[in-house]
Chains A and B, each alone.
Chain A
Amino acid sequence: MKYAVFTNSIKNNLEIMSKNSIKSIFTILMLSLVVFSCKKDDKTPTPSNPDGNTPPPNEEELITTIVLTFTDTTGIVAPFTVTFADPDGDGGNAPTIHEEIHLDSNKYYNVTIQFLDESKTPAEDITQEVVAEANEHLICYNLSGANLSITRTDSDGTYELGVHSFWSTGLPSSGTVTVVLKHQPGIKDGTCAPGDTDVEVVFDFHIH
């Protein structure tokens, strides 16, 4: 019964419509032909060979380069840097610089990390963004096979950040350190697990 009432009411409505509004249906149809068919023409530029130097619009943010700056706490050895660089971004050409870390045994180093986008001219310093959004970022230093310990020395107020760190070496040995930049918006808990990986570079290191 319910169905019958339902269909009948549809029927009545449409019957009224069919009698009175055929003209208006047509008007709507013709209008929609005009309106909808041209709706998005403004979004469709024809590709053409653009100006030789103009990069494509809305190019994404990239990190192409990591620079680790080592400062001997005793001041005996002059500060030095270790770099990883892949200036054309993921894929394309292979990374152009991938240096090893050479440290002296039984020493202490203050280390600062820098993230750069060298695909832009001039190069963009991404580190500032990481620091500005410290509560969404974490830099992890994962060690394997070494007489080395690394401690983060800065913080976002709640959790550590890792742009600045303190490295202490033991007896001569070799191993790797994996530097990871995690983007953890709203999910930062002080550990490396959550979030997306923005940077993950493995450096070989040697303690002499």
Chain B
Amino acid sequence: MEKKKNNKKIYMALGAVGRNLGLTLFGLFALFPLVWMVLCAFKSDAQMYNTVFRFTPTLDNFYAVLVRTDYFKAFFQNLVVAGGAVIITVIAGVPCAYALARYDFKKKEDVAFQILSFKFAPEIMVILPIFLIFQKIGLYDSYFGLIWVYQLITMPLLIWVVRGYFEDISVEVEQAAQLDGYAWYEVFLKTLLPLIKPGLVASGLLAFIFAWNSFTFPLILSGFKIQTITITALRYISSDTVHYGQVAVASTIAVLPEVIVALFIQKHLVRGLSFGAVKG
């Protein structure tokens, strides 16, 4: 009996060691590239080649990227396009989500699935004809055109996630507000919106990240006038003499806002990422 208990203790201890070892290995795989990126951002061109972890940090790379090239401009333009896309999505998408959650109407599920199917349409297929049309009607390389196309990324996400949050609110809340004499839009603005606010903010921010990260759309639909971070950053690697320090700075600047946002929306992340399918 005593021996069996001891064996169990040993297994438990071994299990804990194995578990933490496994987690640390995966943690290294997941996080080290980001650490290395930040390290490289502070390395000078000369030390890049002959040092690994011990070097004299310098801000030369930041100066080169932010002051001497138009990366800051791309950062700003990316902000305008992704932010604009999320604002339009929230204005048009939240009512949509509400209708899909609360009203019973013909073809409701068809509409909902049509919206979801945009998520699964190959981006290149959607974008080639849009490119033709945009060139004809003058939307190529314009803020308006890009913000419109970005709706394909942001709108399905927001509608499906926010719909779930609306469904979580019991109908009684609405009925009570109606009994108090609120009109239907007052019910929506004064009682429901405050209740879904955390979820709405989180899914809006997640939609912002997806829009911020978009690569295919700006690659094809933007030219010299509008540049986004993802496209501009690639220039640093494709030139003949690669300045790896500048590559690192460009990546760090692109990733930093996203990591900060991710920290704020942890609680809603699973739900947002799975389009409301998993209520983590």
Instruction: Decide whether A and B assemble into one complex.
Output: no
Q: Which residues of A contact B (CB under 8 A)?
A: none
Q: Which residues of B contact A (CB under 8 A)?
A: none
